[in-house]
Amino acid sequence: MRPRTRSDTATMTRARLELCASIRHRTIKMTSLAAPIPRTEVQMELQQILQQYHSAADEFARGDAEPVKKLFSHRDDVTLANPFGPAVCGWKNVSNALTFASSRFRDGAVTSFEPVAEYVGSDLATILETERWSAKVSGRADVTPFVLRVTSTFRREDGTWKLVHRHADPIATPHPDGPLRSLES
C-alpha cells in the first residue's frame, strides 16, 4: 500500500466536507416511551438549552466550571471525555473532572460554535459541533487558539434538558497517522 500524499488528504477532506454538508442540520425522528411533545416545542427548548450551554462553555474558558456543572445531569450514568484525562462516569467523577479541566483555563473565550449535525427526539438529543476556543492553558503566558470536535448528548430529566454526555477532543483535521498522530515517528 502506498503512503498517502497531501493530494490524497485534501481529496479526503473535500469528500468529508461534502458529506457533512449534505447531512448538516438533519433531524431524525426518534421514538420514546414518554408522552410525545410537539416537535417545535422540543426544538425551541433544545435551542434555549444550547444557548445556555454555549454561554456556560464561555465561562468555562475563563476557569469557571459552575455554569457548566448546572447543565449536567447529576445522575450516575452521566459521562465526560475531555482532553485532560480519561473518560469518567458518574456525577462525582464528572464534577471533579470539570473542576480540574476548568482550572487549566484562564482569560479565555469560545469564539464560535459550528454545528455539524444534530439528532433530536422528544427526550434525547445529540449534537455534533466544532468549537473554536482561545485561552491561556495549563499556566501558559499566552492566549492560544484551539479547535475542539465535540459531541454532546442531552436528555430530558424531570421536564428539563440535561447534558448526559460530552466528548471533546482536539482532532479537527485529517491526519495520515490517525490514532498515532501524537506519537513521534
| pLDDT digits 0-9 by tens, 103-155 | 999 999 999 999 999 999 989 999 999 999 999 999 999 999 999 999 999 99
Give me the amino acid identity at 104.
Answer: R
Q: 95 in a domain, yes or no?
A: yes
Query: How many other β-carbons are positioned within 10 Å of the β-carbon of residue 13?
Result: 12
Long-range own/partner contacts, residues 141-145 (CB < 8 A, 24 or more apart): 143/107, 143/108, 145/111
Q: 181 in a domain, yes or no?
A: no
Q: 90 in a domain, yes or no?
A: yes
Q: List the CATH number of the domain containing 48.
A: 3.10.450.50
Q: 9 in a domain, yes or no?
A: no
The answer to whether residues 61 and 110 touch, using CB atoms and an 8 Å cutoff, is: yes
pLDDT category of residue 43 using cuts at 50, 70 and 90: confident
Q: Which residue has the higher pLDDT, 98 or 25?
A: 98
Q: 82 in a domain, yes or no?
A: yes
The number of distinct structural domains making up the chain is 1
Domain extent, residue 98, equals: 26-173
Query: How many other β-carbons are positioned within 10 Å of the β-carbon of residue 111?
Result: 12
Q: 18 in a domain, yes or no?
A: no
Q: 19 in a domain, yes or no?
A: no
Q: 2 in a domain, yes or no?
A: no
pLDDT at 7: 55
pLDDT at 72 over 70: yes
Query: How many other β-carbons are positioned within 10 Å of the β-carbon of residue 98?
Result: 21
pTM (2 decimals)?
0.77
